């Protein structure tokens, strides 16, 4: 509270300093240092308080508890290793993400696999997929690194004739990548970046590590993920405690994904979405699955002991009543997955045509469409070809959301 009161005082001081500064037209008649000294002092005080707020619990950009998330992933690695087999959701998302790699003609000799379902991605890069020869597997969880090593060793022993890329393992935080600028050809992150506190910054680091015309591929859970669980927890908490606090971590919305790619200065941004609906026998089976994936909530500002046994039972009852599974059996859960594609800028990439270079007006183009309307799709294609001089869609207009 004291920090917040100080912050409000700083804002008032800034406003007073701006009012005290001379108008722009009279600035030459005053000593510039004296006129703006108050504003500079207020700004310095604002920066100091902002740093303190960032270091305070729940302050600044600390949305997620990264240490807790590492512990979640270590536990998930142990659970996956003990259970064996493959998680159908993680396997499906990994396959669909790497399908985009198959659409590329270019080859990517050096690849980075970044956190999340990294072991699923790494094992699917065998056989020269995407022209990948070397893989750098980065994860903040020691347990996940060991799991990936064990899975790779088992797969290589089961099929020694298959060509496997060289793999090196690096224990590092996804928000502080230990990669030299322009050192890799493709970065693949499958269901990991949605836990970054500074998501735009993490994506910008990925872009800096890419060589020109390098590829960034990512899959993240979107905002509609576990919407049923959010609602059930809110209903139960309102009924039992008379208020609502978050139990499910916040996620980026689909509308934000394209902006994130653009803010990271990635060219030719593309975003598309898959929605998975999975049936569970009970809500507690859903929670067990989340734990095995390392997807438990990790809010930095969570309330200790807020989820009591009684509240959990009430939330499970609300969940079953509001969101029954297919055929009325069990419960249903939604997973929204956003697939994001972007390229490190390069001169060889398509760009918008020069402004004013079109050789046909919109009125003429509309008239051609009307005249070819009776000819069906072939006529429309001919009309489009006639207006082709208007230029290609480039990085500013190629995003599909």
Q: Which pLDDT tens digit goes with each residue over 154-212? A: 988 888 888 889 999 999 998 999 999 999 999 999 999 999 999 999 999 999 999 99
pLDDT band at 111 (very low <50, low <70, confident <90, very high): very high
Cβ–Cβ under 8 Å, residues 357 and 391: yes
Band of the pLDDT at 37, cuts 50, 70, 90? low
Rounded mean pLDDT of 374-395? 46
Strand partners, 167: 135
* Closest to 187 in 3D by CA, of 138, 140, 146: 138
How large is the angle between the packed helices 254-263 and 199-209, nearest 10 degrees? 50
pLDDT for 219 equals 98
- Residue 135 main-chain phi, psi, to 5 deg: -120, 130
- Per CATH, the architecture of 66-343 is what? 3-Layer(aba) Sandwich (3.40)
Mean pLDDT of 107-117: 95
Average pLDDT over residues 342-357: 85
Calculate mean pLDDT across residues 77-106.
92
CA 221 to each of CA 116, 250, 260, 382: distance values in angstroms, whole numbers, following the listed order: 11, 10, 14, 41
Q: Across the chain, what does the average pLDDT equal?
A: 81
- Report the distance separating Cα 259 and Cα 196, nearest Å: 16
pLDDT in the model for residue 241: 78
Q: What is the pLDDT of residues 217-269, one digit of tens each?
A: 999 999 999 999 999 999 998 888 777 777 788 899 999 999 999 999 999 99
Q: Write down the domain spans for the chain.
A: 2-55, 66-343
pLDDT at 309: 87
pLDDT, mean of residues 84-92: 92
The whole-angstrom separation of Cα 281 and Cα 6 is 51
Cβ–Cβ < 8 Å for 390, 358: yes
Highest mean pLDDT among 46-55, 174-183, 390-399: 174-183
Which residues, other chains included, contact 323 with Cβ-Cβ below 8 Å and sequence gap of 6+?
A: 228, 231, 232, 331, 332, 333
| Token pair 């008649």 in the structure block, residue | 29
Per-residue pLDDT tens digits for 281-337: 999 999 999 999 999 988 887 766 567 888 899 999 999 999 999 888 999 999 999
109 closest CA partner among 91, 130, 95: 130
Residue labelled with tokens 């190629």: 398
Q: 282: exposed, middle or buried (C-beta count within 10 Å: 0-12, 13-18, 19+)?
A: middle
pLDDT of 159:
82
Contact 360, 390 (CB under 8 A): yes
């Amino acid at each position: 509270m004291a920090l917040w009161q100080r912050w409000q005082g700083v804002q008032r001081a800034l406003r007073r300093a701006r009012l005290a500064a001379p108008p722009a037209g009279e600035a030459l008649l005053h000593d510039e240092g004296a006129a703006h000294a108050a504003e500079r002092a207020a700004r310095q005080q604002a920066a100091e308080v902002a740093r303190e707020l960032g270091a305070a619990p729940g302050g600044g950009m600390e949305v997620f508890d990264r240490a807790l998330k590492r512990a979640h992933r270590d536990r998930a690695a142990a659970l996956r290793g003990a259970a064996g087999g493959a998680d159908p959701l993680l396997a499906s998302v990994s396959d669909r993400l790497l399908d985009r790699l198959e659409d590329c003609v270019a080859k990517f000799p050096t690849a980075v696999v970044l956190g999340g379902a990294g072991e699923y991605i790494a094992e699917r890069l065998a056989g020269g997929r995407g022209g990948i020869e070397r893989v750098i597997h980065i994860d903040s969880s020691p347990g996940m690194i060991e799991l990936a090593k064990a899975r790779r060793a088992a797969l290589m022993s089961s099929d020694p004739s298959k060509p496997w890329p060289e793999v090196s393992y690096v224990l590092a935080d996804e928000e502080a990548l230990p990669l030299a600028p322009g050192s890799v050809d493709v970065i693949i992150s499958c269901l990991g970046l949605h836990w970054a506190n500074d998501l735009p910054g993490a994506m910008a680091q990925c872009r800096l590590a890419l060589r020109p015309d390098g590829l960034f591929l990512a899959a993240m859970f979107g905002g509609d993920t576990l919407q049923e669980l959010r609602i059930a927890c809110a209903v139960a908490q309102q009924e039992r405690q008379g208020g609502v606090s978050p139990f499910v971590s916040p996620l980026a919305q689909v509308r934000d994904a394209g902006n994130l790619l653009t803010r990271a200065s990635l060219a030719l941004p593309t975003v598309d979405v898959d929605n998975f609906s999975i049936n569970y026998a009970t809500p507690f089976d859903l929670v067990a699955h989340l734990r095995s994936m390392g997807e438990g909530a990790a809010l930095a500002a969570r309330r200790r002991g807020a989820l009591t046994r009684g509240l959990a039972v009430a939330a499970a009852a609300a969940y079953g009543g509001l969101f029954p599974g297919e055929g009325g059996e069990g419960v249903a859960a939604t997973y929204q997955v956003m697939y994001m594609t972007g390229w490190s800028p390069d001169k060889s990439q398509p760009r918008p045509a020069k402004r004013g270079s079109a050789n046909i007006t919109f009125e003429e183009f509309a008239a051609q469409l009307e005249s070819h309307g009776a000819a069906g799709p072939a006529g429309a294609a001919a009309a489009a070809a006639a207006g082709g001089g208007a230029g290609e869609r480039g990085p500013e207009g190629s995003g599909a959301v």
